[in-house]
Amino acid sequence: MPVESDVVRSLEWGPYRLEVAAGTRVGNRYAANFDVLHVDEKLPFFAVADGMGDGRGSALAGTTAMSTLVRQVRELDGAADAAALRAAVAAVQRRVRTAGARLAELTGCTLTALLAGASGEDAWIVQLGDSRAYRLRGGLLELLTVDHTVAWLGAVYGWYPADSPAAASARYQLTRYVGHPDEPEPDLSNVSLRPGDVYCLCTDGVAEQVDYHRLRELLAGAPAAAARTVLADTLAAGGRDNATIVVVRVESR
């Protein structure tokens, strides 16, 4: 993935037209981009991955995971269901684990994907790690995924204050990710598509640098402007991490 990349695309699927904008930025912390972005040229299929750390294992995990998932999804040819997606992610896990066995370092990444269903009226969300999927519907911005981190568990069970040093440290302790020795399954969610919906996939470089209210405000606008401005906001906030976003607006054909 280049240092900076922007994609704007329109895709017709079922009764809807999907307006898509996406982009990625390196930021100021790393010399390279360990995020990987995919906006498919033919299918209503979008994904982000975020390598763990800044070494060879991080880069290898992200690129291997994404290329494998893309191949698996294209073979489904629009006929995805829960069983097929679990099998696809299992293949991703095996490929990343095999690739990582040649390296004497952590080889892992997050993976979040959105794939429209065969009817064109629903979509699947695939989730491993702490990248995120949001939906803006009727003015309400909802987080549709769970962060697979110790910090998330700590927030749910009240182990420590959300703004404590312990919570900050726990954000980097992932409980599920691609490349994990146990090859965990992803969370799968099936969601409806409605005219006016806006779906957003992003890595934690966006989620941790652009707050909820600002993200909701920007996603209400045109996808291209929203993606561009969110990424600019991550740099204005310090650019402490690679940042990648996909914005998908659902419209009637």
Q: Is 250 within 8 Å of 195 (Cβ atoms)?
A: yes
Residue 49: is its pLDDT beyond 90?
Answer: yes
- The per-residue pLDDT for 218 is 98
Outline where DSSP puts E strands in the chain: 5-13, 16-25, 35-39, 45-51, 109-116, 122-128, 132-137, 140-143, 187-192, 198-202, 243-252
Q: Is 109 within 8 Å of 49 (Cβ atoms)?
A: yes
3-state secondary structure 45-97: EEEEEEECCCCHHHHHHHHHHHHHHHHHHHHHCCCCCHHHHHHHHHHHHHHHH
- The per-residue pLDDT for 190 is 97
Q: Is 45 within 8 Å of 85 (Cβ atoms)?
A: no
Binned at pLDDT 50, 70 and 90, residue 2 comes out as very low
For 159-211, write each residue's pLDDT tens digit.
998 889 999 999 999 999 999 999 999 999 999 999 999 999 999 999 999 99
- The per-residue pLDDT for 5 is 62
Task: Tell me the average pLDDT of the chain.
Answer: 94
Determine the average pLDDT of the residues in 39-43.
92
∠ CA 163-32-43, nearest 5°, is 90
- The per-residue pLDDT for 78 is 77
For 50-90, write each residue's pLDDT tens digit.
999 999 999 999 999 999 999 999 999 878 899 999 999 99
The position carrying tokens 């659902």 is 250
Domains of the chain: 5-252 (3.60.40.10)
Binned at pLDDT 50, 70 and 90, residue 1 comes out as very low
Calpha distance 48→128 (Å, rounded): 11
